[in-house]
Amino acid sequence: MSARRGWILVALMTCMALAAMDTTIVSTAIPQVVADLGGYTQFSWVFSGYLLTQTVTIPIYGKLADLYGRKPVLITGALIFLAGSALCAAAWNMPSLIVFRAVQGVGAGAVQAIVSTLAGDLYDITERGRVQGWLSAVWGVSAIVGPTLGGAFAEYSTWRWIFLINLPIGALALALIGRFLHEDVRSTPHRIDYLGALLLLGAAGTAIFGLLQGGTAWPWWSAPSIAVFAAAAVCAVAAVVVERRAAEPVMPPWVWGKRLLASANLATVGFGMLVIGPSTFLPTYAQDVLGLGPIAAGLLLATMSIGWPIAAGQSARLYLAIGFRDAALVGAGFALAGCTWLALLPQTPPLWQIVAAVFVLGIGFGWLSSPIVVGVQATVTWHQRGVVTSANMFSRFLGQSLGAAVFGAVSNAALRARIADAPAAVRPHLPADADGITRALAHDPASAAADYLRAALYTATHHVYLGLAATAALVVVILAVLTPRRFPIVAATADTRAERS
């Protein structure tokens, strides 16, 4: 690896760290944010607004990167992200913070799309697995450092520093990108597909909004839910019609028309669902059922973040030996084994068994994700790589939104059923709904009601792990049946615009 590419990789990892950490750093500071700004009933949108705008803008940035080059799009996105960070730090109430977090998400969409695309531009097929391992390690470290840093700022300084810290780090990343990243992009006129972009944003935005709100703001089978998903379907159909006629479509029909790309993206939707399950439910299970503290629960989840980059870093040897599809199948098999192991655990298992199962899950994620993204990148030339990479990244975040909705519904249904079926002796001491379980456990942890609630939480988590195992099995089927065994590799030629040296 040359010195130039080494510095570019540092810049890409720094950009990725900003986007990754801002999904977690806010969580531990929320009590202080609410105490300062108010708006307790709205704070969930501090997370949801960021996720929504980040996800829906990824395909737009991917297309712009193919038209105008990666560097200007990445710099623009990073500047939007930093501007959003500064605005978040200056927020005066909860609605303003939510709006500014959405601005951050608009910038983060560019970072997510372009960092992975540049990894495909700068490194050949034998190196990309190792580079994906480094980028995966950024996510793993961010999952640990983010909440810790957010809690430290909230306790010892002010929550506003969780956003201000982005400014010097982002400035460093921009300086490195400006100094070391050079592209040879021909200046030619382009016809921007504004209508297609608007319809794509409408389809993705309303669908993800419905997934985020369904089961919480309104019941799934309710008029608002049906209206939102109907609007998403109308926008999606209109987008397909427009994209087929556009001269330079934002989301070209071939991205989903080719069997290889469509099956890889479907598998990535399943992968996104798998990722969100442990991240969302394992910490609660560890604290409320096993009695671990927040730090111990975080370290338990960190074992997944250790296995993931290790496997991703070694994935090149695997996919070069047996092919991209079969390497992804090996990863999906490990993910299925990890999910099944978790589903078979008793209510209070030995801690090492949970650690081992989560580590196996991380290994599966590393071997599943890297071959898919490297594989689809290897099948196209430079001027298509941004589109296929962003479509794959979009599929992942769509899967995370879908997983949060589905597994949240599964967990809530199991908890409601257990509370409704509680024995008469403990029923008067149980909370009215699932929202009060944590408070009830903290109030009297040694009571019979607390024991019953811990058993209910275990049942709910067990159902989620069964759902994860079923999802992993579905990913295996998609890869085995729909994905071609051999990927047609496009060799790197003069069409590669970013300097490799």
Q: How confident is the model at residue 187 (pLDDT cuts 50, 70, 90)?
A: low
Report residue 407 as tokens.
């597994």
Q: Name the band, by pLDDT with cuts 50, 70 and 90, for residue 501.
A: very low
**Whether the predicted pLDDT of 444 surpasses 70:** no
In DSSP notation, 12-61 reads HHHHHHHHHHTTTTTGGGHHHHHHHH--GGGTHHHHHHHHHHHHHHHHHH
- 250 and 193 in contact (C-beta within 8 Å)? yes
Do the beta carbons of residue 10 and residue 176 sit within 8 Å?
Answer: yes
From the list 146, 128, 114, 105, the residue with the least C-alpha distance to 15 is 114
What is the DSSP secondary-structure string of 399-466?
Answer: HHHHHHHHHHHHHHHHHHHHHHT--TTTGGGS-SSGGGHHHHHHH-TTSHHHHHHHHHHHHHHHHHHH
Looking at residue 103, its pLDDT comes to 95
Residue 410: pLDDT band with limits 50, 70, 90:
confident
Q: Which residue has the tokens 């939007």?
A: 80
State how far the Cα of 113 lies from the Cα of 462, in Å rounded to an integer: 34
Reported confidence tier of residue 452, pLDDT bands at 50, 70, 90: confident
Reported as a single tens digit per residue, the pLDDT across 302-318 is: 788 788 888 888 888 88
Distance separating alpha carbons of residues 374 and 500, to the nearest angstrom:
17
Q: Where are the domains of the chain?
A: 1-181, 194-247, 253-492
Q: What residues contact 93, with CB distance under 8 A and at least 6 apart?
A: 37, 38, 39
Q: 194 CB contacts (<8 Å, ≥6 apart)?
A: none
Q: What is the DSSP letter of 214?
A: B
Asked, colleague to colleague, whether 1-181 and 253-492 share their fold, the answer is yes
Residue 1: is its pLDDT beyond 80?
Answer: no
Q: Is the pLDDT of residue 185 over 90?
A: no
- Indicate the fold that domain 253-492 takes in CATH: Growth Hormone; Chain: A; (1.20.1250)
**Averaged pLDDT for residues 270-279:** 86
- Least confident stretch, 19-33, 50-64, 75-89, 314-328: 19-33
Fold exhibited by the domain 1-181: Growth Hormone; Chain: A; (1.20.1250)
For 174, other C-beta atoms within 10 Å of its C-beta total 18
pLDDT digits (tens, 9 = 90+) for 87-139: 999 999 989 999 999 999 999 999 988 998 888 888 888 888 788 778 877 87
pLDDT level of residue 493 (50, 70, 90 thresholds): very low
What percent of the chain lies above the pLDDT cut of 70?
89
Q: Give the pLDDT of residue 456.
A: 83
